Structure 1
Amino acid sequence: MSVGWIRIERKLFDHQFFDDEPMSEREAWICMLTRAAWENTQHRVGTQMLNVPRGAFYCTQRDMAQTFGWKSHHRVQGFWSRLTDAEMIEVRSAPRKKCLVIIRNYEMYQSQYRQEQQPTETHLKVIKTDPPAAQSSDMERRERLLVAMGLNPMGRTPSGRTFGTVNDMFEASKWSADLGLSLDEQLAVIGEITAHRARAGEPPPTSFKFYTQPMARYAALKNGPKLEPDAKGTATNATGRPKIRAKAKNGI
């Protein structure tokens, strides 16, 4: 079987050279990959602006049936169902009968080769790639988070479950963007939780969302008022109240 990868331009499916004809399921899958957002963005649905994580897109089943050239949206429904069972996509309901389709493992397969901007050159020209350090930064961050969680760098568990999906990495991006935590701080929080659960004989959490609340507590303590000793030597904050040790049952 062939190995390696190639770049495919999104406009391939609009090129006038090719006839309009029903797509095979393989072509439909490639079409879905070209539709996925290459960076976090937003999509308007009615009067709402909805967040679109990298590696996902909004659509309706009827829209996709028309795009694929298929006679019924029921075929799209069945196709998506099999892709979901194979853990290749995740489909979530959205307003106005739309769906948010998330490509599983998009980060694993795309981040190492992506450009910070979409290429404008055609396949007949040489496409300049990012420096190696820039290409590997997203992958390295993902791997370090997974290792800190007690998982292997690829995010696969013995049961076949995959961690570090595009949805997971979108959740992790909030720890930096919303909470202002550095990667080292995130790894420290995760490492303490992992050690605590290992001592208790508990398995790793089932989702990156498990860590968001401890991250928020850490950020609150980090950004809180500076503690000063009072006359009795007890650490107090600006209100004069004694310092509260924020030790949660998950180790933070």
Structure 2
Amino acid sequence: MSGDAVRTGGTVSIARALWDDPEFPNEKFSEREAWIWLIAEASWKPRERRVQRTVFQLERGQLAASVRFLAEAWGWSKSRVFRFLERLEKRDMITTQSGTDATLITVCNYDKFQPAQKQRGTQAGHSEGQQRDTSGTNENKGEIKGIRVKGGGGSACAREADHPTLRESILGACGVDPVSGLTGPGGRCIGTRADMEEVGRWLRLPGIGEPEILGVVGEMMAGKRDGPPSTLRYFRPGIERLAAAKAAPPIDPSTLPVVRRGKAHGPSDRVQFDIAHREFTRRLAAGEIQRGPDPSDPFAW
């Protein structure tokens, strides 16, 4: 898709949390969705990005990810990801640079898909930015390959720090990279499609929202000494306990059973007990009473 196609085809505004919205099923991506995801994932400003043991200095329009991570995110096989990236590179849509821990991907003509903030202001008065679609909707939105990420951010996963998605917040509370979810040098990651389906089930429980989820995750991680879990399902028992507690009816004190306790034993009571015990033992030894329940038995108090 060329920059001309972006200008003539129009744009739509899509919330940047779309990829993590639990209302949508985690289905396999089409190639079109994978291409949009790459553009949305690319950094919108220079930043550092750590993938396992490697720290990448990303420039605008670049992203770093392993093929395994892309396959997990898109629901594809690794071989299909390889073929797709090769085809995009042959069409001069991206360039790639393979590394030990990840592939550095550069989106060609990124500024045509995602204009910088200062460019958006000038486009508002430009004739090419005044086009409308067949419904008459103004399409001068500041586009990402025909789709604008709401709020001007450039990454679907590596968002601005002040607007993290629920996935990023959970992964941050787990102490892992909020973008890749990598938990160690072996390439294992959390926050996968299956994990986000699990989070979607939590959100459908009574009384469970984002604050409750993050509270449970933070509490359980505080007591976990062996690092992040291998899956977000680790937090399911805590979430379900909280949901059950929130769904339980409030306690009416008037309905509570009355617990009758024995009388308290203070120091003077102890002295009286010892006297009674010695007398009971004497009478038992003298044959005055038989073994069994007896009113004089101090243990029958």
Bigger RCO of structures 1 and 2 (CA < 8 A, at least 6 apart): 2
Indicate whether the TM-score tops 0.5.
no
Which TM-score bucket, shorter chain as reference? 0.3 to 0.5
Larger Rg over CA atoms: 2
Q: TM-score, normalization: structure 2?
A: 0.36
